[in-house]
Amino acid sequence: MTDPNRRPAARVPRRLLACVLAATLASPLAAWSAPPELNELEYFHKRGLDVLAFSNYYDGLFSDAKHAGVELIHHGVRTATNGDVRLSPTPEQWDPVALMVDRKVDPATSTVTTRLGYAAHGFEYDIRVSPAGEGVKVEVVFDQPLPAALEGQAGFNLEFLPSAYWGKSWMTEQGGGQLPLYPAGPTTRDAQGKPVRQPMARGRSLTLAPEDPQRRVTLRAREGELALFDGRNQAQNGWYVVRSLLPAGRTGTVLEWTLEGNTVPDWTRETVIGHSQVGYHPAQRKVAVLETDRNAAAPGRARLLRIGADGREQQAHAAQAAHWGPYLRYEYYTFDFSDVREPGLYVIEAAGQRSNAFRIAEDAYATAWHPTLDVFFPVQMDHMFVNEAYRVWHGRSHMDDARQVEPNKEHFDLFGQGPDLDSPFQPGEHIPGLDYGGWFDAGDFDIRTQTHYATVMSLVDTWEQFRPGRDETTIDQDRQHVELHRPDGVPDLLQQIEHGTLALIAQHRVFGHAIPGIVEPDLGQYTHLGDAASKTDGKVDDPDDPDSLNDDRLAFTTNTTALNYGSAAALAAASRALRGHNEALAEECLATAKKVWAFEHGREPNLFRVGNTTGGDPQDEELRAAAQLLLTTGDAAYAARIAELWPAIDERFGFNAAVVLPVLDRMDPAFQSRMRARAEAFKAERAQMVSENPYGVLITRGGWAGNGAVIGMATTNYRLHQAYPDLFDIEPTLQGLNYLYGTHPDSNISFVSAVGAKSKQVAYGMNRADFSFIAGGIVPGVLVLKPDFPENKEDWPFFWGQNEYVINLGASYIYLVHAAQDALSRK
């Protein structure tokens, strides 16, 4: 119907119309609908969407780490990964992956071409990625037809993060559905009765999360079909997988997908106010770090508000956030409120955000280590029944330890046996005397010797320097029973030192030397989650009994020089701590450490190495043994050997300084002078190491995130501050601690579970499948994916490189908190 009141439309001149059209094409809306562009960092970028094409690949340590191939960063969240040719619909962690042969970037055509191959099948292929539509085109290109053995198996997979999509919808041209929160099939059986994963959806096009503009992704196949699988039906750490089978008998472009991610016009990532979730001591430097999107306006004025008991707010400090500069993909500003020293409860307001509340108080750090000693360490105790009120964390585990591994055995978890057993036991034979002591190394259940001796030494350092008498736990070694929150009259730290020492000394009692460790025999056990006591049957396997389960763990027994020295260092240290608590064990530890020292100095070094389980650098490990034996015995022969090891100290000063400084007063003046000069040089080296980021710590770039390096450098600085207070201030130590507590990239969460107002509650522990945590555990932290993406997932626990608890990090953290509190009490 025509509106009688409507005026005739004005005629628009052609020139004006052309100008309007040009302006429209140049508008943000046009940019939003354009494809991403290949940038100087060699990935495809537009506001709200990044597509990485093999910027990252499998690091070789633990195979599939879910950060490889074609990947999608969507509105600041990495939501898809592992875009590559795989040999099953829902591959598990140790299933075959292709090896990268070559990667070429052609700026002229905006194309990234990656050459990959499965050597076992003599099969190579290219994956080409280039801009298309509102996303990218992904092509798989064959020089030769698919090998017959891979027909019906090889397909192109792209995996989507379940926590980013569960509860959201999927749609194809055939219909739609909802992505399940918990895996629920579909699964069928093949002719042999084996499970076969079935797709939830099929179609030539597939849209995920059509209702969510920040997660909506559309995939289209030029030919064939897309199939959507739930990888969690096969393994809890599986993802949603979109897959197309690759055709047989063809060459050239055999697969072509278009991948488009919706982008919200003018999307800007919210500013993160990096601050300590635990709080600050009045005397320390207090600087919040604001992480901002590069498209965002400067944060402007920041305010510190003091909160009264009645909820009223009073401005304690305000200032313009100071521009620090770019780091990785973000822009950074700082807000310094060091002048505020009045104790109280505070929040920070900046860039439209408000932080969690934190304290300024002289005892800010005083109890921050309690959950680690009270909960994390007891829960990790192997060969013990561990109870907490109404909850059993685990039963008495691995009472059937252990079986002798065969020669030249390679294990999937980086253990390996040398050509000699170095053991009185035959392959498969039960080894008595290994069924006590020790901790679960990490989120899994192995006993890793190198981690154990590092942990024992850190705990001894804390005991000797700070003497914490805290007693919250009953630990009964005779009954192999632990009760949390029930004091037994003995300092818990001392009992944990004893527990770790028992595992180390057991190896020397049984074999006469340290061993790499004890680990699960197969992947079925290795991937076990939950109660460790149910992982084995608790009965010693009988190799002559065909019905035996052969579920006992394997002992890897190679007699390496590095492990011997590292173990001797911990035993010498433990011998001091255990005096007056377990005198017989203390005597045995010292005698064993001396025996190991004499043995290693009487033979050619055994330098067998495999994975990360056969000890550190042999000279570094010898240095630790010499230092601990010197502290324990005062024998000048150990001081002489430390002096001879100067090249190792000099070359790896940041790593070895903390080992030598405790014995500095027992060294001669020439050595002391050399140490001071090297420390002065290290001060400049450290400044250079931390200069690239605004956090004042070293942020590493490996496949395992860098909280260990952060704690290590902070601890070394404390030792240097003690030795050379005129050269080293305490602030770098406090910066390391505050980094753990929330002043770090990506988020402001505390990386110590249950410590701080907002802490890590989804982590990689034995209970990771429950999306839960273990109080006091410390996770590896922010992983920097190449080239510029910092990440720590709080909604997905299965990234071990970001979220896996390890015992040595817990022990070094306990020391660091005590060191910080001690130094601040002297200010």
745 vs 328: CA distance, rounded Å: 10
Q: Name the token pair of 95.
A: 């299933």
238 vs 62: CA distance, rounded Å: 15
H helix or E strand, kind and range, residue 628:
helix 618-633
Q: What is the DSSP code (8-state) at residue 205? A: E
> Residue 402, preceding bond cis, omega within 30 degrees?
yes
What's residue 14's pLDDT? 40
Which of 600, 673, 603 is closest to 643 using CA atoms?
Answer: 673
What's residue 184's pLDDT? 87
| Average pLDDT estimate for 339-360 | 97
**Among 72-81, 364-373, 429-438, 530-539, the least confident range:** 530-539
**Among 94-98, 168-172, 759-763, the least confident range:** 94-98
pTM of the model: 0.94
**What are the pLDDT digits (tens) for 478-500?**
999 999 999 999 999 999 999 99
| Measured distance between the N- and C-terminal CA atoms of the chain, rounded to whole angstroms | 83
Q: Name the token pair of 89.
A: 């619909």
Given a cut of 60, is residue 26 above it in pLDDT? Answer: no
Cα dihedral value 124, 130, 135, 139, nearest 10? -30
406 vs 416: CA distance, rounded Å: 10
Give the residues across from 100 on adjacent strands: 116
Domains defined for the chain, CATH in brackets: 28-261 (2.70.98), 272-360 (2.60.40.10), 372-613 (1.50.10.10)
Spatial contact of 215 and 79, defined as CB atoms under 8 Å apart: yes
What's residue 58's pLDDT? 83
Which residues lie closer than 8 Å to 166 by C-beta, 6 or more apart?
179, 180, 181
Given a cut of 80, is residue 6 above it in pLDDT? Answer: no
Given a cut of 80, is residue 20 above it in pLDDT? Answer: no
Q: Name the token pair of 531.
A: 């109660």
CA 250 to chain CA centroid, nearest Å: 42
547 vs 562: CA distance, rounded Å: 39
Given a cut of 60, is residue 706 above it in pLDDT? Answer: yes
Q: What is the DSSP code (8-state) at residue 607? A: -
pLDDT range class, residue 5, cuts 50, 70, 90: very low
Q: Name the token pair of 11.
A: 């005629």
**What are the pLDDT digits (tens) for 710-746?**
999 999 999 999 999 999 999 999 999 999 999 999 9
Spatial contact of 446 and 413, defined as CB atoms under 8 Å apart: yes
Given a cut of 60, is residue 9 above it in pLDDT? Answer: no
Q: What is residue 688's three-state secondary structure? A: helix
662 vs 465: CA distance, rounded Å: 11
CA 130 to chain CA centroid, nearest Å: 32
**Cα dist from 763 to 182, 566, 589, 817, whole Å:** 18, 29, 35, 21
CA atoms within 13 A on the CB side of 22: 6
Given a cut of 60, is residue 1 above it in pLDDT? Answer: no
CA 351 to chain CA centroid, nearest Å: 30
Residue at token pair 């313009």: 320
pLDDT range class, residue 32, cuts 50, 70, 90: low
**What are the pLDDT digits (tens) for 264-288?**
999 999 999 999 999 999 999 999 9
Spatial contact of 499 and 439, defined as CB atoms under 8 Å apart: yes
| Average pLDDT estimate for 209-230 | 97
Which of 61, 40, 42 is closest to 51 using CA atoms?
Answer: 42
What's residue 2's pLDDT? 34
Given a cut of 70, is residue 643 above it in pLDDT? Answer: yes
Residues in the chain: 827
Q: What is residue 255's three-state secondary structure? A: strand
Given a cut of 60, is residue 462 above it in pLDDT? Answer: yes
**Percent of the chain whose predicted confidence (pLDDT) is above 90:** 90
405 vs 637: CA distance, rounded Å: 38
Q: How many CB atoms lie within 10 A of CB 545?
A: 9
pLDDT range class, residue 543, cuts 50, 70, 90: confident
Given a cut of 70, is residue 697 above it in pLDDT? Answer: yes
CA atoms within 13 A on the CB side of 524: 7
- Kindly report the three-state secondary structure assignment for every residue of 694-745: CCCCCCCCCCCCCHHHHHHHHHHHHHHHHHCCCCCCCHHHHHHHHHHCCCCC
Which of 659, 657, 654 is closest to 638 using CA atoms?
Answer: 659
CA 660 to chain CA centroid, nearest Å: 29
CA 703 to chain CA centroid, nearest Å: 8
Q: Name the token pair of 252.
A: 């050239």
Spatial contact of 618 and 604, defined as CB atoms under 8 Å apart: no
H helix or E strand, kind and range, residue 508:
helix 492-511
**What are the pLDDT digits (tens) for 595-617?**
999 999 999 999 999 999 999 99
Give backbone dihedrals phi and psi of 508, rounded to 5 degrees, phi first: -70, -35
What's residue 546's pLDDT? 77
Residue at token pair 């701590």: 577
74 vs 79: CA distance, rounded Å: 6
Q: What mean pLDDT, rounded, does the chain reach?
A: 94
| Average pLDDT estimate for 180-200 | 87
What's residue 299's pLDDT? 97
**Cα dist from 686 to 247, 274, 348, 475, 739, whole Å:** 55, 22, 30, 41, 16
Spatial contact of 417 and 409, defined as CB atoms under 8 Å apart: yes
Residue at token pair 């300084």: 657
Give the residues across from 534 on adjacent strands: none
